Amino acid sequence: MYTQNQKITGWRERAELRLESADFPALSKLTGELLNTLKMDSMDFAIADTTRKNSEDALLKDAVTAFKARAQLATDALGGKGYKIVNLNFNTNGYPQPYARNGGMMMKAAMMDSAPTPEVEAGTSQVHMSADGVIEVQMP
């Protein structure tokens, strides 16, 4: 920290602590204990990697089925006898941005002598998968 004359009067430090767990009661308890000595700015939540991958794998099958149905529809509309896939791309929403919880409650709690244990609970996330590509329609 500096004075108006640019003299150093002190130091300010900030750090990030990342806790990952699927055990919400244990995470909540640990967070409450940490709030006795640390200030918390915010809490973020994101879908677990294995849950996201399993959801994407299930959605991939649906995306392929939908792509094949649309390819057949286009082939029929053009009067083709079949189609060949030239290129096929799968797109996911990747890693969704974590859901940020309001830090206001946590900052107020940090000002108190004994911070309450925050309640942590599971939420929902949407995973998206799409398939796009190029087909070659085989004409009779």
Report residue 109's pLDDT band, with 50, 70 and 90 as the boundaries: very low
Report residue 105's pLDDT band, with 50, 70 and 90 as the boundaries: very low
On whether residue 80 sits in a domain, the answer given is: yes
* Average pLDDT across the chain, whole number: 81
Domain count, the chain: 1
Q: What's the CA gap between 115 and 46, in Å, rounded?
A: 24
Q: What's the CA gap between 133 and 77, in Å, rounded?
A: 18
On whether residue 7 sits in a domain, the answer given is: no
On whether residue 46 sits in a domain, the answer given is: yes
On whether residue 50 sits in a domain, the answer given is: yes
Whether residue 99 is predicted with pLDDT greater than 70 in this model: the reply is: no
What pLDDT, on a 0 to 100 scale, did the predictor assign at position 116?
A: 64
On whether residue 10 sits in a domain, the answer given is: no
This prediction has a pTM of 0.55
Q: Please, what's the b/e burial string for 77-105 (b: 16 or more CB within 10 A of its CB; e: otherwise)?
A: eeebeebeeeeeeeebeeeeeeeebeeee
On whether residue 52 sits in a domain, the answer given is: yes
On whether residue 5 sits in a domain, the answer given is: no
Residue ranges making up the domain that contains 44 = 24-138
Q: What's the CA gap between 27 and 2, in Å, rounded?
A: 38
Whether residue 86 is predicted with pLDDT greater than 80 in this model: the reply is: yes
Task: Kindly give, in sequence order, each residue whose CB lies less than 8 Å from that of residue 90, ignoring residues fewer than 6 positions away.
Answer: 60, 63, 129, 130, 131
On whether residue 34 sits in a domain, the answer given is: yes
Report residue 38's pLDDT band, with 50, 70 and 90 as the boundaries: confident
